Amino acid sequence: MSMTMTQKILAAHAGLDQVQAGQLILADLDRVLGNDITSPVAIKEFEKMGAGGVYDKDKVTMVMDHFAPNKDIKAAEQCKLCREFCNEYEVTHFYDVGQMGIEHALLPEKGLVAAGDVVIGADSHTCTYGALGAFSTGVGSTDMACGMATGKAWFKVPSALRFRLHGKLRPYVSGKDVILHIIGMIGVDGALYKSMEFTGEGLASLTIYDRLTIANMAIEAGAKNGIFEVDEQTLAYLKERCDREPVIYKADEDAPYEKTYDIDLSEIHSTVSFPHLPENTRVIEEVGDVPIDQVVIGSCTNGQYKDMAEAAAILKGRKVAKGVRAIVIPATQDVYLKVVENGLAKIFVEAGCVVSTPTCGPCLGGYMGILAAGERAVSTTNRNFVGRMGHVSSEVYLASPAVAAASAVAGKIADPAEIMKEEI
Amino acid sequence: MKYTGTVIKYGDNVDTDVIIPARYLNTSDPAELAAHCMEDIDKEFASKIKPGDIMVAGYNFGCGSSREHAPIAIKESGIALVIAKSFARIFYRNAINIGLAIVECPEAAERIENGHEVEADLDAGVLRDLTTGESFQAEPFPPFIQKIIENGGLVASIRKGDFR
């Protein structure tokens, strides 16, 4: 019987020749991830199990990124608990302030995920690593605890939607616009319980970073995972970072996809998600006059160097509009260093932005840019739910780094193509 | 597993940020989380819920973050069962894993109204609206999941050796 990419990876990790949608399996895990918010709950559950140790000290991974550097005393206590746990169980991949970055940018960068892996993470955006041809999915803290103890997790094998990409993106349009376009098309539960599998000749024109952004937001369509077919770009990216051999799984020609969407990348415009759901999308030409108070450029969705460079290209020689606070957050130490070394930090600061240490911070209303009542932000993050970035009456508009940078300059939501036409 | 309680009803896409806002995630203390449960869409939630009450919601309940703090806050607030048209998948797993009873039944979630008395028999998948007398059939959990729930959650299953 034919299988999707996801089904093949799951079958291999469950020791089965075949699996089909709906089947319950117990799969071996190549990596188990947690952060400073979810790990403390997992650690408590782990201790209840009396496991004695983690299943593999090189595969358990903890990243202090959400409320770190510690935003308050309680956050400090949570990081301390994680630190002590990782010391006690000799966890190799514990990333604390100074080494840490936003987890879903950090793991690919450190070579901790290979094509063909099964990864669970106690963070919903764990689906990001599907960009590298892995099955990776977000779970809760109890799943994380059990994964740390046993190296296994239960899964219901998902059915799948196929997205066949064609053509090339227009200037100033990036992976963020692609995934916002898709979520606008299928809705926030359009892929509920399912895999989103990306394939087609259009993949060649999408960088790994565009793919990471797209896979990252599969959860915003309700998906279990997003996954990209492995190509030469994937292999080149992995070869530079990961010392394990990639295992490539291709979907069968007649794999059982519930539905196939053909998407012409050249037809996608810059896209903005209006409050309070990611599916409330409008193309930039139809946004209208939306004055803003804040811009955030960063997060696990758009905190890579490519994202920084796209924002800097627009901010170079320009100024952030009066009345707008612009916050730039490189996702990892490596990205941060490149932002400094390549002169992007100078561009951002001269434009009137602040450049922060890596953190999830404002994305989930933690700190580093909380909104007051009635304030509006354009943000390259992934969720615009009620109260997500601060006060319950504040608003978040999701967009690409280019749109966010253009909006910072204009003081309202703006089209980067239009801003770049204006003389400096 | 049988439940009887008064219904509190919400709409579609109730996300984990409104179930428990991230500003309270600097703790994992269940009582503290429960005190802020649902407050961004329903300020009185924590004070008005009685132990055994039943939450009814629309599609994609619990969408968003993987925070287990969300089902923990609901459970600790006294809600005994959540009936929804559908659940976001991580919330669904988390609820099972921590032992918060949930059931997917679009018809029941559509017809049952705020304040109604409801009786649920999850082994049989039968939901009864005692206020109107209407009855609904939901699909019971597969045996694998039933076993996790019977054991009292995933951690207890592992301790019992039922997870190999």
Cβ neighbour number for residue B3 with a 10 Å cutoff: 18
Residues 6+ apart with CB under 8 A from A292: A324, A376, A377, A378, A397, A407, A411, A412, A413
pLDDT in tens, A58-78: 999 999 999 999 999 999 999
CA distance A64 to A45: 19
| More confidently predicted of A422 and A94 | A94
| Cα–Cα–Cα angle for B102, B104, B106, rounded to 5 degrees | 140
Cβ pair A149:B158 closer than 8 A = yes
Q: Does B67 touch chain A (CB under 8 A)?
A: yes
Q: Which residue of B has its CA nearest to A44?
A: B28
Going from the C-alpha of A304 to that of each of A26, A51, A102, A356, the distances in angstroms are 34, 37, 10, 14
CB-based burial of residue A54 (10 Å sphere; 0-12 exposed, 13-18 middle, 19+ buried)? Answer: buried
Q: Is the pLDDT of residue B162 over 80?
A: no
Q: What is the mean pLDDT of chain B?
A: 94
pLDDT-derived band of residue B152, with 50, 70 and 90 as boundaries? confident
- pLDDT score, position B163: 65
Tell me the chain A residues in contact with residue B72 when contact means C-beta distances shorter than 8 Å. 41
Cβ pair B66:A385 closer than 8 A = no
- In the numeric block, the tokens 């952030």 are attached to A320
* Cβ(B158)–Cβ(A146) below 8 Å: yes
Mean pLDDT lowest for which of A44-58, A115-129, A320-334, B140-154? B140-154
Query: How far A37 CA lies from chain B's nearest CA (Å)?
Result: 7
Query: How far A226 CA lies from chain B's nearest CA (Å)?
Result: 14
Cβ pair A189:B63 closer than 8 A = yes
pLDDT in tens, B54-103: 999 999 999 999 999 999 999 999 999 999 999 999 999 999 999 899 99
Q: Does B64 touch chain A (CB under 8 A)?
A: yes
Residue-wise burial string across B102-119, b where 16 or more C-beta atoms lie within 10 A, e elsewhere:
bbbbeebbeebeeebebe
Residue A346: DSSP 8-state: H
Tell me the chain B residues in contact with residue A123 when contact means C-beta distances shorter than 8 Å. 65-66
The per-type count for chain A, helices as H runs and strands as E runs, is: 14, 18
* Cβ contacts from A onto B, under 8 A: 137
Q: Is the pLDDT of residue A50 over 90?
A: no
Domain, as residue range, for B31: 2-160
Tell me the chain A residues in contact with residue B146 when contact means C-beta distances shorter than 8 Å. none
Query: How far B67 CA lies from chain A's nearest CA (Å)?
Result: 6
- pLDDT score, position A424: 82
Tell me the chain B residues in contact with residue A67 when contact means C-beta distances shorter than 8 Å. 25-26
Q: Does B72 touch chain A (CB under 8 A)?
A: yes
- pLDDT score, position A410: 98
Residue-wise burial string across A210-229, b where 16 or more C-beta atoms lie within 10 A, e elsewhere:
bbbbbbbbbbbbbbbbbbbb
Cβ pair A140:B93 closer than 8 A = yes
Tell me the chain A residues in contact with residue B67 when contact means C-beta distances shorter than 8 Å. 37-38, 140
pLDDT in tens, A316-357: 999 999 999 999 999 999 999 999 999 999 999 999 999 999
pLDDT-derived band of residue B146, with 50, 70 and 90 as boundaries? confident
Q: Find which of B68, B102, B148 to mutate to test the A interface (most A CBs within 10 Å of its CB).
A: B68
The per-type count for chain B, helices as H runs and strands as E runs, is: 8, 7
**Across residues B18-42, what is the average pLDDT?**
96
CA distance B37 to B45: 7
Query: How far B161 CA lies from chain A's nearest CA (Å)?
Result: 11
Nearest to B94 by CA among A295, A71, A124: A124
User: For the domain that residue B70 is a member of, what is the CATH number?
Assistant: 3.20.19.10
Q: Is the pLDDT of residue A239 over 60?
A: yes
Total domain count, chain B: 1
* Cβ(B52)–Cβ(B74) below 8 Å: no
- pLDDT score, position B164: 56
Answer left, alpha or beta for residue A132, where phi above 0 means left and psi between -120 and 50 means alpha.
alpha
Strand B101-104 to B81-84 pairing: parallel
Q: Which residue of B has its CA nearest to A194?
A: B89
Q: Is the pLDDT of residue A153 over 60?
A: yes
- Cα atoms found within 13 Å of the Cα of residue A199, Cβ hemisphere only: 19
Tokens of B113: 């109204």
Q: What ipTM does the predicted assembly reach?
A: 0.94
Shortest CB distance from B155 goes to which of A49, A188, A192?
A49
Query: How far B80 CA lies from chain A's nearest CA (Å)?
Result: 20
Q: Is the pLDDT of residue B147 over 90?
A: no
Q: Is the pLDDT of residue B148 over 90?
A: no
Q: What is the pTM of this model?
A: 0.97
- pLDDT score, position A349: 98
- pLDDT score, position A51: 85
